[in-house]
Amino acid sequence: MPCYSLEGVIPVVHPSAYVHPTAVLIGDVIVGPDCYVGPAACLRGDFGRIVLKAGANVQDTCVIHGFPDQDTVVEENGHIGHGAVLHSCVVRRDALVGMNAVVMDEAEVGEKAIVAACAFVPAGVKVPPRTLMAGVPAKALRELSDAEIEWKLEGTRVYQDLTKRSLASMVEVQPLAALDADRPQLKAPHVKPLVAVKRA
């Protein structure tokens, strides 16, 4: 992976974490145990520290950055969807930031909260625990159900499993020119989209 020391500060990646080879880590970045950092994610610890705690995932093309006086933190089992941007904020334990959402300076996403896809959480906003936030700017819509919180946790477990699968078997290869006759199946666990959970 592109990993850069800055002013003698070197990123730290726990051996049980998986960081995709195209992700970029710069300076004061700490990736904890069982974390997943996806393709083309950029964690720029060149002003302030970035911390991913145990079991967190940061998916493809996410950007995490911050200011010198506040760590940018994703706590245990934090789940950061594709393309999200975090800047000088804290995402508490078991919270989810949806795809292409933005969480700004000194904002805090409460424990087990969900920030919907494409939402914008302005600077300084405190998202209450177990709350669904959506919109531009994001507003609290309602308290999350136990089923929605369990769905989020199951999705995080799937990414923790992907960490193990990636460490065990992901290698760079050349593509095949044609479909092979005995093409293997992926061993991904079954996961339902939230819309399917709501139908049940």
Give 80: exposed, middle or buried? Use CB within 10 Å, 0-12, 13-18, 19+: buried
Give the phi and the psi of residue 159 in degrees, each rounded to 5. Answer: -70, -35
DSSP 152-169: HHHHHHHHHHHHHHHHHH
Q: What is the pLDDT of residue 184?
A: 87
**Residues 63, 18, 191, 78, CA torsion sign:** negative
DSSP 24-39: EEEEEEEE-TT-EE-T
Domain boundaries, the chain: 3-143
Q: What is the pLDDT of residue 189?
A: 78
pTM of the model: 0.93
Task: Give me the percent of the chain exceeding a pLDDT of 70.
Answer: 96
Output b/e per residue, 16-45; b: 16+ Cβ within 10 A: bbbbbeebbbbbbbbbbbbbbbbeebbbbb
List, for residues 142-189, the tens digit of each pLDDT value: 999 999 999 999 999 999 999 999 999 999 999 999 998 898 888 877
Mean pLDDT of 191-197: 70
- Which tokens sit at 74? 């994703």
What ranges in the chain are assigned the alpha helix state H? 146-169, 194-199
Mean pLDDT of 34-63: 98
Q: Which residue has the tokens 């990646």?
A: 13
Mean pLDDT of 58-75: 96
Distance CA(129)–CA(73), nearest Å, equals 16
Identity (one letter) of the amino acid at 125?
A: V
Mean pLDDT of 45-53: 97
Q: What is the pLDDT of residue 69?
A: 87
| CATH architecture of the region 3-143 | 3 Solenoid (2.160)
DSSP state of 6: B
- Which tokens sit at 172? 């760079």
List, for residues 97-142, the tens digit of each pLDDT value: 999 999 999 999 999 999 999 999 999 999 999 999 999 999 999 9
Long-range contacts of the stretch 12-21 (C-beta < 8 A, 24+): 16/163, 16/167, 17/52, 17/163, 18/162, 18/163, 18/164, 18/166, 18/167, 18/170, 20/166, 21/172
- Which tokens sit at 176? 């095949």
